[in-house]
Amino acid sequence: MRYRLTFLPALLGCGAWLALAPPATAQTGNLHLPATVVAGSGFTVQTSGSGPATLYITGTGAAVRRQVQLGDPVSFAAGDLDIAGHYVAFLEEGGATDVKEFDVVPAPRPGSLAFLAKPSRLSVDLHDGISGAVYIFDAYHNLITKPMPVSFQLSVPDAAVESRTVQSHDGAAWTQMNSSSREGAARFVATAGDVSSTRVIEQVPGDPCSLKMSAHPDGQKIALATDPIRDCSGNPIPDGTIVTFTETYDGEQTTVDVPVKKDIAQADVPAHDGARITVATGVVLGNEIRWAR
Amino acid sequence: MKILRAMLVAWAVGSVAFALAPDEAEVHVQPPHLDTPRPLNDTTREAAVRNYLEAWTSASEALAQNRPGLLDATFTGTAKDQLTATIRQQAALGISTRYQPLSHNIQIVFYSPDGLSIQLVDNIEYDVQILHQNKVFTARQVHARYIAVLTPTEVRWRVRLFQAVSE
């Protein structure tokens, strides 16, 4: 099959369809089907006529065959047809006799959720920084297209729970949430009906809010140390964050990169009268000290 | 390229119709109806629709020839598993099914904020023929509403969910 697309008025296309009729055969058997069947549930196909025939049910979700005695009902047990979709059912007696169409619709109760949450790690206090999207499936992996409420909850220990409820549309629902002001592993939970799915999002401190150092003489050196470094929500920034001390003296520059350990960064630089010392981490610049004995 | 050109026209002027050669489907592409914050750029939506149409082609060929391997390039996950199971059932029953799309009316309805899934709705008309040893058991013209969810893979969007829904 190929698709060739050429712009033409809509009506031309409609007229081009060929009506297909079933092969002309004796109409000895007839089918009586419900218009819709709930996925996974049992159902009965009524037949009329007499004699043996073969019942076929086909669609993109399943292909089923049953030998039947016309006039008798044909029972399908729960689970016999569990893939939602559009099906064609027909009786075969040396040629198709009666053809019907019906839909298998998803079961109404959610059985599982496909929950996509992003990102897996982000800074605290970011507006709409977290997104979650959910597809709702029944127990047979059929998308439940009927609208239903989906709740999203984001929680971190010792912080208020952020929650939101949205209505699904065509089986999908989404939300955006702010990361909380507390660092730690946040539980991001989506719930539809009795089914929940959880993702863990690591919330890490943001950039340092301020950076302040002090200097003390230590023999031929200057001992530099920062105050405890925290983000603007008061979370300590992680150990290992690099802090850079820079000493400028007589046109020469000495830089020392050190990792934060237990909230502070420390380094020694040569003691020179009149040296200018600055401190920075990431994009945050700290105070400046002019050294004099 | 023809599909792309047609879709571009469709998006430019809204809902339009494209007629077909005798064996070719007419494709309408509606402007996306999205309420998610992530913008859907033209390249992405063209690719998603093109890959969805290619998925229909491969599904039709796979169901007609009872060759599940034909699904590999265009389907993944649940959709591929379910179609593969159907093809195996058909083969076991000695039947095959020819799906011949006559028209697609496609609209993208959801683009997840993370960019990892696109959902579209297709109001499709198709001929279906059910065959046993190349003899047509029955033929039918069907109108159905399909929902597909596509997810990105290495080089293309693949159909992960492929489901006809009751209207």
- Report if residue A8 sits inside a domain: no
Mean pLDDT calculated for residue range A58-65: 95
Torsion A238-A242-A248-A249 (CA) sign? positive
Mean pLDDT calculated for residue range A72-85: 94
- Report if residue A220 sits inside a domain: yes
pLDDT computed for residue A28 by the predictor? 62
Mean pLDDT calculated for residue range A88-113: 89
Picking from B59, B138, B164, the nearest residue to A96 by CB comes out as B138
What's the number of domains chain B is made of?
A: 1
Q: B101: domain range? A: 2-165
Picking from A86, A133, A170, the nearest residue to B112 by CB comes out as A133
Same-domain pairing of A80 and A38 = yes
Listed in order, strand segments (DSSP E) in A107-161 are 112-118, 121-123, 130-137, 149-155
* Among candidate residues A74, A65, A68, A25, the one with its CA nearest the CA of residue A45: A74
- Report if residue A11 sits inside a domain: no
Choose the final residue of a domain: A90, A105, A120: A105
| Residues paired with residue A65 on neighbouring β-strands, in sequence order | A56
CA-nearest residue to B79 within chain A is A61
* Confidence band, pLDDT 50/70/90 cuts, at residue B23: low
Question: Is the predicted pLDDT of residue B2 greater than 50, yes or no?
Answer: no
A13 touches chain B (CB under 8 A): yes
- Which chain A residues are closer than 8 Å to B138 by Cβ? 22-23, 88, 90, 96, 99
Whether residues B97 and A58 touch (CB distance < 8 A) is answered with yes
Starting at the edge strand found earlier in the chain, the sheet holding A130-137 runs A112-118, A130-137, A172-177
- Which chain A residues are closer than 8 Å to B144 by Cβ? 86
Tell me how many degrees the CA angle A40-B83-A67 measures, rounded to the nearest 5: 60
Model pLDDT for residues B75-124, shown as the tens digit of each residue: 999 999 999 999 999 999 999 999 999 999 999 999 999 899 999 999 99
Whether residues B117 and A143 touch (CB distance < 8 A) is answered with no
Above pLDDT 90, what percent of chain A? 72
Q: Rounded to whole angstroms, how far apart are CA atoms B130 and A251?
A: 88
Same-domain pairing of A194 and A143 = yes
Question: Is the predicted pLDDT of residue A169 greater than 60, yes or no?
Answer: yes
* Among candidate residues B123, B95, B23, B46, the one with its CA nearest the CA of residue A64: B95
Average pLDDT, chain A: 87
* Among candidate residues B112, B99, B132, B20, the one with its CA nearest the CA of residue A170: B112
pLDDT computed for residue B134 by the predictor? 80
Residues 6 or more apart whose CB falls under 8 angstroms from that of A252 comprise none
Q: A271: domain range? A: 213-290
* Confidence band, pLDDT 50/70/90 cuts, at residue A206: confident
Report the amino acid identity of residue B142: V
Q: Classify burial at B78, counting beta carbons within 10 Å of its beta carbon; exposed 0-12, middle 13-18, buried 19 or more.
A: buried
Picking from A5, A60, A116, the nearest residue to B116 by CB comes out as A116
Model pLDDT for residues A252-269, shown as the tens digit of each residue: 999 999 999 999 999 999
pLDDT computed for residue A223 by the predictor? 95
Residues 6 or more apart whose CB falls under 8 angstroms from that of A50 comprise A28, A70, A71
Whether residues A7 and B6 touch (CB distance < 8 A) is answered with yes
pLDDT computed for residue B36 by the predictor? 84
* Among candidate residues A1, A30, A25, A96, the one with its CA nearest the CA of residue B132: A96
pLDDT computed for residue A119 by the predictor? 94
> Can you say how many angstroms the Cα of residue A160 is from the centroid of all Cα atoms in its chain?
23
CA-nearest residue to B90 within chain A is A63
- Report if residue A99 sits inside a domain: yes
pLDDT computed for residue A134 by the predictor? 97
Picking from B23, B93, B101, the nearest residue to A65 by CB comes out as B93
Looking at A47-56, A198-207, B20-29, which range is the least confident one?
A: B20-29
Q: Rounded to whole angstroms, how far apart are CA atoms A175 and A133?
A: 7
What's the number of domains chain A is made of?
A: 3
Q: Rounded to whole angstroms, how far apart are CA atoms A71 and A46?
A: 7
- Report if residue A18 sits inside a domain: no
Choose the final residue of a domain: A178, A204, A230: A204
Question: Is the predicted pLDDT of residue B12 greater than 50, yes or no?
Answer: no
pLDDT computed for residue A159 by the predictor? 81
Give the tokens for residue B15: 């809902």
- Report if residue A90 sits inside a domain: yes
Model pLDDT for residues B114-163, shown as the tens digit of each residue: 899 999 999 999 999 999 888 888 899 999 999 999 999 989 999 999 99
Torsion B120-B121-B126-B131 (CA) sign? positive
Most confident residue range from A176-185, A221-230, B33-42, B131-140: A221-230
Mean pLDDT calculated for residue range A151-180: 93
Whether residues B137 and A10 touch (CB distance < 8 A) is answered with no
> What is the domain-level CATH number for residue B99?
3.10.450.240
| Residues paired with residue B104 on neighbouring β-strands, in sequence order | B27, B124
- Report if residue A6 sits inside a domain: no
Picking from B53, B139, B164, the nearest residue to A86 by CB comes out as B164
pLDDT computed for residue A127 by the predictor? 93
Entry pTM:
0.80
A220 touches chain B (CB under 8 A): no
Q: CA A143 → CA A63, A249, A277, B162, distances in Å? A: 20, 69, 63, 9
pLDDT computed for residue A287 by the predictor? 95
Tell me how many degrees the CA angle A53-A54-A57 measures, rounded to the nearest 5: 145
Residues 6 or more apart whose CB falls under 8 angstroms from that of B104 comprise B25, B26, B27, B28, B53, B56, B122, B123, B124
Residue ranges of A 86-105 with Cβ closer than 8 A to chain B: 86, 88, 90, 92, 95-96, 99, 101, 103, 105
Higher pLDDT, A16 or A286: A286
- Report if residue A269 sits inside a domain: yes
pLDDT computed for residue B65 by the predictor? 96
* Among candidate residues B57, B68, B52, the one with its CA nearest the CA of residue B98: B57
In angstroms, what separates the C-alpha of B61 from chain A's closest C-alpha? 8
Same-domain pairing of A78 and A126 = no
Average pLDDT, chain B: 87
Check: complex ipTM more than 0.90 = no
> What is the domain-level CATH number for residue A98?
2.60.40.10
